[in-house]
Every structure is written in structure tokens, then in C-alpha cells.
Structure 1
Amino acid sequence: MKTLLILAGLLVGTSLHQTSQAQVNVNINIGSQPLWGPTGYDYVNYYYLPDLDIYYYVPLQQWIYFDGGRWITTTALPSRYNSYDLYRMHKVVINDQQPYLHNATYRKKYASFKGRYDQSPIRDSRDSKYYVINNHPMHNQAVNGRPGGNPEIQVGRNGSPQAQNGRPQANGGHQERNDRAQNEHRGPR
């Protein structure tokens, strides 16, 4: 009888151990997050921008917005939003699938975040985990594995890249996407 109880205890213990191991799942996509994204998130599926009422799908780097009665997907921010500063405005991280299909819910839930400028963008972070992002001002330091990184580029007091002459670089040192393809949205592709 004692042997049966020990065997049962071992089986239950092994079962619980296997269950707890199966539940550990870590997702990280820091390298895919844009420089204007807020710090503090190791994984982001979507950003919802309450000021613009649009979404950004991080895995495919696509904007999703409603226009003409349908959801549109594009890799470039539509020109009507060019006057907005993505680095300053509030972004809500949403890790649900296709949150734009429930836009009325998200619009209402996050309406109070409109006009808030309370997040620090990844571009300004000096946390080394963000250095893996290609256009981060400290990316070369992470790639080259040495302090100082690229001697051609220095970081100004405001965190923006500067050439050796001390002048800010165009577009904050970032290379802009020129892809303007737009498609009717049937989900991120």
C-alpha cells in the first residue's frame, strides 16, 4: 500500500512538473518594434494609436486604418497623418488577434489616452536590449560589441543621431520606407 502511495505521488508530481513546463512560453520581438514604439515591452503584436484611431501590426510592419468602409493595410503611414509625431503620442499595446475588427471597443476603452504624451520612445532608451533595432542610435555599439559604436554617428542630448559636425541627421537618422502599396485588409499577410 505504501508503495502504491509513493508511486501515485511520483506520477502526480511528474504530471504537475510537465504541465508547468508546458505553460512556460516566452515571446520576444524587440528587434521588430519601431523606434517610435514605447519602451517596456518585450513582445508587441499591435499598437493602437488613439489620436489617429489606427493600428500598427508589428510583425509585418503594416499600418491598418479604416477608409471608405473597409480596413486598409499599408507599409507606409498615410500622408493625412504626416503632421503627427509618432514619437510623442500615446501608443496602446494590444496582443489580441485582429483588434481592428473590434475597433469600437478599443476606441471607447482608450479614448482617455488621446492627447497624452507620457511614454518614452524606444529611440530614446539607453536600455541595451533595444540596441538590436537597426536604426536605434546605439545599434552599432551592439553590433560591433564596443562602446562608442560608429564614430561617424554620435547621439545628441535629445537622443537623436548627429553627424560629427553636430547637426541632427535628416529623418532623425532613420531610413524611411518608400513602399506605398495599399490593399483591402483581410488580415495581416
Structure 2
Amino acid sequence: MKSLKHLLTIFSFFALSFSYAQVSVNVNIGTPPAWGPSGYDNARYYYLPDLDTYYDVNTSNYIYVSNGQWIRARSLPRVYRNYDLYNEYKVVLTDYRGDRPYDNYKVHKVKYGKGYKGSPQKTIGQRPGKGNNKHDHDHGPGKDKGHGNGHGKGKH
């Protein structure tokens, strides 16, 4: 009887420990970057055609070729570190669920070559240092040149 009580005590301790561990774990993965395209909350990967690079939203890693190997890194290669990701076109890969988006790289490279622009995109957030002035809009090439009714989704 004493060993049964001892066994129940141990079992209760582990059960209680596991229930606390499950309740207290709160991992915030999959948060898209501010430069990501709005409207794609469940997308895991973006393909950046001008950089031949993927971005994994779940791990916040860029995926690109270095020395002939696909690598994952928290930042872009040095040559692209000053690249403006807010103006870069992002192809949202909605039809891929694995861990190796580059398995389709040959298709992506042909379908979305350098300079590719699909439908107009709005970013989730604003470029740091912009947006404090209500007249601070980007009207660069291909940006809002009077097309549409002037009632966009962004705040002015």
C-alpha cells in the first residue's frame, strides 16, 4: 500500500508539472515582418525575385545560395544589406507547405524573374522614419499614379 501511495504521488507530481509546462509555453512564431505584404497572415514564405532569396516568416530567416549551398540566415547577404525591402516586390508562396521552398527555385526564377511586379502590394507596416507626416507618401515609379478611386486601404 505504501508503494502505491508513493507511485500515485510521483504520478501526480509529473501530471501537475506537465500541465503547468503546457500552460506557460507561449511561443510567438510566424509574425510577418513590417515590410511583408499585407493580407497574407498565414503565408510562411515570400520569394524576393530581385534578390533570388526566400524569406521564412515562421523562423524570420532569409534563405539564399551561398557558396553553392542553400543557407538560412537572420540577415541578408552583405551585398543586399541596404536593400529597401519595403519597395521590393514579394511573391507570396501560398501553395507550398514544406521546409524547402527552394526545391521549386527553378520554377520561381523563371516565373518571377528579376524585375517581376505582380499585383500592387501594400506593406504591413511603414518604413522606419516614414509616416509621421500625413503628406509623406511614396509616389515613385509605379506607385499610385491616379489609378483607382483614391480610397485605398492605407491610412492617410
TM-score range, shorter chain: 0.5 to 0.7
Q: Judging changes above 3 Å, is the alpha-carbon distance between structure 1 residues 43 and 78 closer, same or farther for their aligned structure 2 residues?
A: same
AA aligned to 2:43 is V
Q: Distance in 1 between matches of 2:75 and 2:35?
A: 14
Q: Judging changes above 3 Å, is the alpha-carbon distance between structure 1 residues 117 and 77 closer, same or farther for their aligned structure 2 residues?
A: farther
Q: Give the drift of 1:86.
A: 0.2
Cα deviations by residue, 1:122-173 (Å, 9 ceiling, x for unpaired)? 114xxxxxxxxxx999xxxxxxxxxxxxxxxx833338xxxxxxxxxxxxxx
**Can you give the 5+ residue segments of structure 1 that lack an aligned partner in the other structure?**
1-28, 125-134, 138-153, 160-189
Give the TM-score, by structure 2 length.
0.57
Work out whether residues 50 and 113 of structure 1, in 8 Å CA contact, stay in contact via their aligned partners in 2: yes
For residue 133 of structure 2, the aligned residue among 156, 165, 171 is: 156
Give the total of aligned pairs.
105
Work out whether residues 46 and 90 of structure 2, in 8 Å CA contact, stay in contact via their aligned partners in 1: yes
1:92 aligns with 2:91: yes
Work out whether residues 75 and 81 of structure 2, in 8 Å CA contact, stay in contact via their aligned partners in 1: no
AA aligned to 2:35 is W
AA aligned to 1:38 is P
Runs of at least 4 residues off by over 2 Å: 112-118, 154-159
Secondary structure at 1:38's aligned position in 2?
coil
Give the TM-score, by structure 1 length.
0.48
User: Cα RMSD between the aligned structures?
Assistant: 3.1
Structure 2 counterpart of 1:106: 108
Work out whether residues 30 and 42 of structure 1, in 8 Å CA contact, stay in contact via their aligned partners in 2: no
AA aligned to 1:106 is H
Q: Give the drift of 1:64.
A: 0.4
AA aligned to 2:101 is P
Work out whether residues 39 and 122 of structure 1, in 8 Å CA contact, stay in contact via their aligned partners in 2: yes
Work out whether residues 35 and 136 of structure 1, in 8 Å CA contact, stay in contact via their aligned partners in 2: no
For residue 123 of structure 1, the aligned residue among 115, 125, 130 is: 125
**Can you give the 5+ residue segments of structure 2 that lack an aligned partner in the other structure?**
1-27, 138-156
